[in-house]
Amino acid sequence: MKLPFGSASPLTAEPEVKQMLLTEDDEFMILGCDGIWDVMSNQDAVNVVRRELRLHNDPQQSARELVNQALCKDTDDNLTAIVVCFTSPDHRTSVPSQRPRFRCCNLSEDARKKLQSLLGSN
């Protein structure tokens, strides 16, 4: 799909960006490339991550399992996932497991750097 320099291409490096106000009900955020979302619905991804967080309380393990689940669905695209937790493990266990609540967002480079600096300062 990549064309010679200067040619029009259907590929873009520009992310979709959405700004949202987080609430105390927000448990985690899933950052994933299109390979994840090509084979999984938002709710399927939330269910996988929520289950893994309850089992292991490890966002990295949850992201790994999300990628593994996508691999099982015979994707031919690249797969990348990051899980960022917003709540403590105690709060996550009190949330019903099938609660249909999710938000899907993509981050710009500036937003990613800001989030990274905020997470690094804790």
Residue 75 located in a structural domain? yes
Q: Indicate if the pLDDT at residue 90 is higher than 90.
A: no
> What's the domain range around 73?
25-90
Which pLDDT belongs to residue 100?
43
Tens of pLDDT along 14-70? 777 788 888 888 999 999 988 999 999 999 999 999 999 999 999 999 999 999 999
Residue 99 located in a structural domain? no
- Alpha carbon distance 105, 30 (integer Å): 8
- Angle in degrees, 0-180, between the axes of helices 42-56 and 59-72, rounded to the nearest 10: 130
Query: And the tokens for 30?
Result: 């899933």
Residue 110 located in a structural domain? no
Residue 30 located in a structural domain? yes
Residue 18 located in a structural domain? no
- Residues ≥6 apart with Cβ < 8 Å to 89: 53, 57
Residue 62 located in a structural domain? yes
Residue 98 located in a structural domain? no
How many domains does the structure of the chain reveal? 1
Note whether 33 and 79 are within 8 A (CB): yes
Q: pTM of this prediction?
A: 0.64
